[in-house]
Structures are given as C-alpha cells and as structure tokens.
Chains A and B, each alone.
Chain A
Amino acid sequence: MSLRQQGTTLFSAMLAFVGAAVVLQLWLLTVSMEALLSGAYKTLIPAAIGSSVLLLVNAGLLRYVLRFDRDAHGE
C-alpha cells in the first residue's frame, strides 16, 4: 500500500471516529435535556464532562490533521 493510500485510510478512519464521537455527544445532550426537564440534576455534570472529553479528543485529532497538512506542504 502506498503512503498516499495509507494516508487516505487513516483520514477516513479519523473522520469516522470524529463522526461517532459527535453522535455520542448528541446522545449525551439528549440525556442532559431530559434530565434537566425531569429534575434529575445529578446526571448533568457527568454528561457535560463526558461531552468535553469527546470534544478534546476531536480537537486533538483535528490538530493532528492540521499539523500533518502543514508538514506535508512544508516538505
């Protein structure tokens, strides 16, 4: 497999992972809204922390992509 093909596979996998993380965040927000409206406030902070962790993971992957592009163009 050529380096370009490897890169394509890698970016496709990252995109799939980021997409899955966003879907998970959507689910967390749904749970939070339901908890807020029903008064079960104990759920809210763990859900917000979970969502933030997923955001950090996504941001880390985006940073990796941007750095990868910068290095590739630098070469």
Chain B
Amino acid sequence: MNTPDEEEGCAGCKAASTPKWRQDFPIEWEGDHYVTRREMVKFLTLGSLLLASANWATVVASRLLHRGSHVERYIGSTAALEKAGSMLFRYPTDRDPCIAVRTPAGKLVAYSQLCTHLSCAVVYAAAENGLFCPCHHGLFNLAGQPIAGPPTRPLPRVQLEQRGDQLFAVGMEAL
C-alpha cells in the first residue's frame, strides 16, 4: 500500500506529464455534448421566456381579431325576407356568410351563419323556432344563444337597419 506522500508524488508526476493544451481544455471529445445541470437550467429558463412571450402573443392576436366590424352594406329587401322567412347574405366581406330572420314576434334579427362549434352553416328551422346546424345537430334560439347540441357560445350578431323597403347591415359584434 502506498503512503500518502507516494500517492501525492505520483499525482504530481501525472500533472507534470499532462500537456499544457490538455490542462487548458480538459473536456474529452466524447464529453463535448455533455450538458451540465446549470446549463440545462439556463436553457430551460430561456425556453420559459419564449413560452411566456408566445402566451402574450396570443393575447395580442386576440385583440386584433376582436375588433368587430362597422361597415355598412345593403343586404336585400324586406319583401324578399318576408317571402322566404329567412335571407342569406354576406357581411362584412364576401367571405362571411350571415343569415337574417324575422322572428314570430315580428322582430328582425341577423347572425353570422357560421356555427360556433365547427363553423358549419346554420339554417333557419321554423319548426324549432331557431337556427339549426345540420352537421352536429346544434340548435340556437332566435336570440343567438345555443340551446342544444355541441355549440356552447352564441352566434355573433349582425346589427341591421331598415330604411323603407331596404335592409342594411351596419355592424357586427366580435366573436
């Protein structure tokens, strides 16, 4: 068994025989990809920063999408609506289908035609006195509220203005 002095001397010999470049760069090639716990904590904190930023980006995106619309657009005549019971139109752009209905109480209402479940087109169902989604049998009442099926959110309402025989869409509330 070696004495402590002999062991220390041997270690000293080993250090002396190690080249200077090895002392400056003590990491082996195989150990190059080894990540210490400290580096991992730094990396995860950076990831945490990115994730928090992405979360706030969704808030900003929602503000941009949540603006609603206040474009004025002619949608048809009241005579056409009375004849068919309901009327389809596009508002605020040609890509946004909407539906106008005269309620049994005589009130004129209009909503986006896109079901709030999976965006199928709702149709007027006089028998149910509501707006029916044929894809998954969702049903909205004429106040736009979901009353049956998978939808849980109301239909966005379109504000209408009647000028004589003409109907205009003048605004749409945001989703």
A residues adjacent to B (C-beta < 8 A): 11-12, 14-15, 18-19, 21-22, 25-26, 28-29, 32-33, 35-36, 38-41, 44-45, 47-48, 51-52, 54-55, 58-59, 61-62, 65, 69
Contacts and interface: CB of A to CB of B under 8 A. Distances in A.
Given A15-B41, A22-B47, A39 B58 contact: no
A45 B59 contact: yes
Which DSSP category, helix, strand, loop or mixed, fits chain A's interface? helix
23 contacts: A11-B41, A18-B44, A25-B48, A25-B55, A26-B51, A28-B51, A32-B54, A32-B55, A33-B58, A35-B58, A41-B62, A41-B66, A45-B59, A51-B52, A51-B55, A51-B56, A54-B52, A58-B48, A59-B49, A61-B41, A61-B45, A65-B38, A65-B41
Interface in B65-103: 65-66
A58 B44 contact: yes
Among B45, B58, B61, chain A packs the most CB atoms within 10 A around the CB of B58
B105 interface: no
B51 A29 contact: yes
Contact of A44 (B59, B116, B153): B59
B56 A58 contact: no
Given A48-B55, A51-B55, 20 more contacts: A11-B38, A11-B41, A12-B37, A14-B41, A15-B37, A18-B45, A22-B44, A25-B48, A32-B54, A32-B55, A36-B62, A44-B62, A47-B58, A48-B59, A58-B45, A59-B48, A61-B41, A61-B45, A62-B45, A65-B38
Which DSSP category, helix, strand, loop or mixed, fits chain B's interface? helix
Interface string B27-57: 0000000000110111011011101101110
B175 interface: yes
A65 B40 CA distance: 11
Interface of B: 37-38, 40-42, 44-45, 47-49, 51-52, 54-56, 58-59, 61-62, 65-66, 116, 153, 175
